[in-house]
């Protein structure tokens, strides 16, 4: 018979006030009482309703804003306050960026995860034949001069690929993975000597991915995106190493 010291249970920790505010907003969204575009009550009113301090409400709203759940509209009057967002920009990207840095996640792990996710999304997108927007983005990439603008289009292409796959979680995961390596990508791009040749090579990869999706060829689409990601990171890794040696 087990003794009291072997008891696996512990008293339930009491939530802090701001955490309870977050929990109640989450519940309201989950059961449909709050939806995209709905405005939360003013801080004073919300504090009185929930019987917490305005400071607790303010802290909860900051957390919800950081995670992309609500958007704060500054000012006074009817347009001011916190509004529930449509979820287009989740806070997952920021969390993944910081967590990856803290945990020293190897670049190879991020690459492997990207390959797995994007091979899946490319297959699904090809099965749906949803590649028109991807074709336009790939074409635009071939004519961009600036490296920062190219990176934006590159990110847009892969997030769009995730979106047209039809998987609701895929775009959030892709944004998070891209954000986790954004700093390394910018540094590596700056270290590339022959920018035009590199741009043309990467743009051609994107064009091939889009073409396979438009042609409804899941195997070709998955193979094209897998090869692109592997080659892309080898290219950036080599450029980054050269930049560090020259710096």
Q: Are residues 76 and 158 in the same domain?
A: no
Task: Output the pLDDT for position 95.
Answer: 75
| Residues written for the chain | 247
Global confidence as pTM: 0.71
225 is a domain residue: yes
Q: Are residues 171 and 210 in the same domain?
A: yes
How sure is the predictor about 7, in pLDDT bands with cuts at 50, 70 and 90?
low
pLDDT at position 89 over 80: no
DSSP sequence for 136-151 = HHHHHHTT---HHHHH
DSSP structural state of residue 172? H
Q: Are residues 104 and 160 in the same domain?
A: yes
Show Cβ contacts of residue 36 under 8 Å, excluding neighbours closer than 6 positions.
Answer: 84, 85, 86, 87
Q: Are residues 98 and 132 in the same domain?
A: yes
Helix, strand, coil share of the chain (percent; to 5): 70, 5, 30
Task: Output the pLDDT for position 165.
Answer: 95
Using an 8 Å Cβ cutoff, are 126 and 212 in contact?
yes
Measured between alpha carbons, how far is 158 from 138 in angstroms, rounded to an integer?
10
180 is a domain residue: yes
Q: Are residues 100 and 26 in the same domain?
A: no
Quick check: helix, strand or coil at residue 34? coil
Measured between alpha carbons, how far is 17 from 51 in angstroms, rounded to an integer?
9
Task: Output the pLDDT for position 5.
Answer: 55
Task: Output the pLDDT for position 107.
Answer: 82
Regarding predicted confidence, which is higher, 157 or 5?
157
pLDDT at position 134 over 80: yes
Mean pLDDT of 9-30: 79
Task: Output the pLDDT for position 115.
Answer: 93
Q: Are residues 105 and 222 in the same domain?
A: yes
Locate the DSSP E strands across 37-179.
70-73, 81-84
pLDDT at position 127 over 90: yes
12 is a domain residue: no
pLDDT digits (tens, 9 = 90+) for 153-196: 998 999 999 999 999 889 888 888 888 888 777 877 788 888 88
Task: Output the pLDDT for position 14.
Answer: 64
Instruction: Render the burial of 87-118: b for 16+ CB within 10 Å, e for the rest.
Output: eeebbbbbebbeebeeeeeeeeebbeebbebb
DSSP structural state of residue 5? G
Task: Output the pLDDT for position 241.
Answer: 54
Beta bridge partners of 83: 39, 71
Domain containing 138: what range? 92-246
Task: Output the pLDDT for position 66.
Answer: 81
Task: Output the pLDDT for position 194.
Answer: 85
Q: Are residues 116 and 70 in the same domain?
A: no
Task: Look up residue 74 and give its two tokens.
Answer: 């500054």
Measured between alpha carbons, how far is 57 from 116 in angstroms, rounded to an integer?
40
Of 44, 66, 84, the one marking the end of a domain is 84
Sign of the torsion angle spanned by Cα atoms 16, 17, 19, 20:
positive
Structural domain count of the chain = 2
How sure is the predictor about 13, in pLDDT bands with cuts at 50, 70 and 90?
low
């Amino acid at each position: 018979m087990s003794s009291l010291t072997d008891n696996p249970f512990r008293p339930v920790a009491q939530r802090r006030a701001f955490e309870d505010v977050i929990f109640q907003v989450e519940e309201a969204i989950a059961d449909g009482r709050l939806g995209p575009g709905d405005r939360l009550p003013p801080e004073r009113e919300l504090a009185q309703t929930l019987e917490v301090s305005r400071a607790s409400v303010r802290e909860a709203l900051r957390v919800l804003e950081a995670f992309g759940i609500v958007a704060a509209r500054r000012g006074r009057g009817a347009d001011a306050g916190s509004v529930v967002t449509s979820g287009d920009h989740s806070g997952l990207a920021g969390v993944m960026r910081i967590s990856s840095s803290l945990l020293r996640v190897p670049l190879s792990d991020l690459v492997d995860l990207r390959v797995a996710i994007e091979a899946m999304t490319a297959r699904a997108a090809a099965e749906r034949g949803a590649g028109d927007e991807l074709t336009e983005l790939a074409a635009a990439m071939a004519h961009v001069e600036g490296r920062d603008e190219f990176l934006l289009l590159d990110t847009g292409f892969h997030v769009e690929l995730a979106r047209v796959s039809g998987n609701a979680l895929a775009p959030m995961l892709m944004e998070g993975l891209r954000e986790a390596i954004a700093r390394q990508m910018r540094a590596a791009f700056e270290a590339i000597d022959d920018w035009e040749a590199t741009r043309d090579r990467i743009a051609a990869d994107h064009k091939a991915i889009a073409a396979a999706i438009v042609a409804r060829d899941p195997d070709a689409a998955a193979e094209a995106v897998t090869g692109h990601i592997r080659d892309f990171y080898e290219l950036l890794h080599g450029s980054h190493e050269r930049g560090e040696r020259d710096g």
